[in-house]
A and B are shown apart, each in its own frame.
Chain A
């Protein structure tokens, strides 16, 4: 199946700094990628939809100036957490939609392994 990678897998940063997380589709081109946030023992919350070559679409309540998303190529989307604070500590997961396997209800999504962000 299709593979999605994320880098880094873990990052610890100081409050006030910015952190960039990369999401790559390794063996397919993804025009659409999604960014999720997962709190401990809770579900995944969709943060934004990233479309190659255009601006990301953010879900209600997600600050677009704080969580900057760039989808510069068909295989790479980045999430930058700007001026991070301890409350931004979370598990961030990306997924990519594989247009080769279109099914009713949308293309199948493949998930990255996630990035654990800890802000001290």
Chain B
């Protein structure tokens, strides 16, 4: 079945540091890939997405590129802020079949940014 593997956290960075959170996946078809963010006490919010190979999703300074050859969708940000402290989830959704529209999540990575 489908699966998503994220780098283990927690990740602790100083403000303005470079961030990378690795994400790799296995899927039977051609999935769409997502990064969700969960701020303390809140629900998950879609951060960015990519629907086909070589697409780059970007939002709020975060970027991730859909790499089919390495089955990866690593999240990056050039300069993190304290307000980026949250839990980040990588996820995939199959395009068709019985799994259509269902999200498979990675285990989540806790990011803490210090001033």
Q: Which residues of A contact B (CB under 8 A)?
A: 4, 6, 32, 34, 41-44, 46, 49, 93, 95, 97, 103-109, 111-114
A112 touches B43 (CB 8 A): yes
For the complex, what is the distance from the CA of A107 to the CA of B106, rounded to whole Å? 20
A42 touches B101 (CB 8 A): no
For the complex, what is the distance from the CA of A93 to the CA of B91, rounded to whole Å? 16
B51 touches A104 (CB 8 A): yes
Q: By the criterion of a CB under 8 Å from any partner CB, how many residues of chain B are at the interface?
A: 26
| Residue of A whose beta carbon sits closest to that of B29 | A105
For the complex, what is the distance from the CA of A104 to the CA of B92, rounded to whole Å? 12
For the complex, what is the distance from the CA of A14 to the CA of B40, rounded to whole Å? 27
A104 touches B32 (CB 8 A): yes
Most chain B CB within a 10 A radius of its CB, from A106, A111, A113? A106
A106 touches B51 (CB 8 A): no
Q: Contact check: which of A95, A104, A109 meets B95 at CB < 8 Å?
A: A104
A93 touches B107 (CB 8 A): no
User: B85: shortest Cβ distance to chain A, in Å?
Assistant: 16
| Residue of A whose beta carbon sits closest to that of B45 | A111
B105 touches A105 (CB 8 A): no
Q: A42-B108, A104-B52 are in contact. Are A113 and B32 (CB under 8 A)?
A: no
Q: Contact check: which of A6, A32, A44, A108 meets B46 at CB < 8 Å?
A: A108
Contacts of B105 in A (CB 8 A): 43-44
Q: A32-B101, A103-B32, A106-B101 are in contact. Are A43 and B89 (CB under 8 A)?
A: yes
Contacts of B104 in A (CB 8 A): 46
Contacts of A93 in B (CB 8 A): 43-44
B51 touches A103 (CB 8 A): yes
Contacts of A107 in B (CB 8 A): 101
Contacts of B49 in A (CB 8 A): 103
A113 touches B41 (CB 8 A): yes
Write out, one digit per residue, whether chain B residues 11-45 have a CB within 8 A of any chain A CB (1) or not (0): 00000000000000000000110001000011111
Q: Give 10 closest A-B pairs by Cβ, nearest first.
A: A105-B32, A106-B101, A111-B44, A111-B43, A113-B43, A105-B93, A104-B51, A43-B107, A43-B105, A44-B105
For the complex, what is the distance from the CA of A107 to the CA of B45, rounded to whole Å? 14
